[in-house]
Amino acid sequence: MNRIFQLSIIFLFSMSILFGCKQEKEYQYVFEVNEENLYLSNVEKTKQKTPEQYISILYSNLFSTTVPQQDLSQLAEVRVSIGDKQMADEMILNDFVNSGNASTPTNQEMRASIDQFIEDTYIRFFLRKPSPYEVLELKQEIEGDAELTPEMIYQAFALSNEYKFY
């Protein structure tokens, strides 16, 4: 009887070790960037961006990196607290552009290849190619005004109604 009891204890002990201890699975998370499809026109954009989306996308477009989460939360809170949303957007945008870290082409680069600058800007901000009329109009503006800078054009795009929708 003593021998059966000992074997039973050993059996239960080994079973508890076998089934009681589970190896933790290690997961490897892979985040990939999905390619974005371009819109054919601004008519396809029907959903308005939330304050967080607007600020996050604006930051990414200007700095070519993601906005720190703490900054995003603070800026979204400031934007919500100001009654005039357009003014809040202008203040945030001016702060971003005037920080000196925004990824913008130089004035010489813009004027060296105006058509390419216009196409790149439309894709960067509107996720679509410009129409021939839009290219013509913006090209005339750039060629006709020596004081017009890429930062000013970026600000105009970022404050447009089309930019606030996706």
Domain segments of the chain as ranges: 49-164
Q: Given this model, what pLDDT does residue 153 score?
A: 96
SS3 of 165, please? strand
The CATH number assigned to the domain with range 49-164 reads 1.10.3130
SS3 of 32, please? coil
User: Stretch 143-149: mean pLDDT, rounded?
Assistant: 95
Judged on CB neighbours under 10 Å (0-12, 13-18, 19+), 11 is exposed
- Residue 61 amino acid letter: N
User: Which residues are within 8 A (CB) of 44 and not within 5 positions of it... i.e. 6 or more apart?
Assistant: none
Q: Given this model, what pLDDT does residue 35 score?
A: 65
Assess contact for 118 and 130: CB atoms under 8 A.
Answer: yes
DSSP-assigned letter for residue 22:
-
Question: Among 52-66, 72-86, 142-156, which is the least confidently predicted range?
Answer: 72-86
Q: Given this model, what pLDDT does residue 100 score?
A: 84
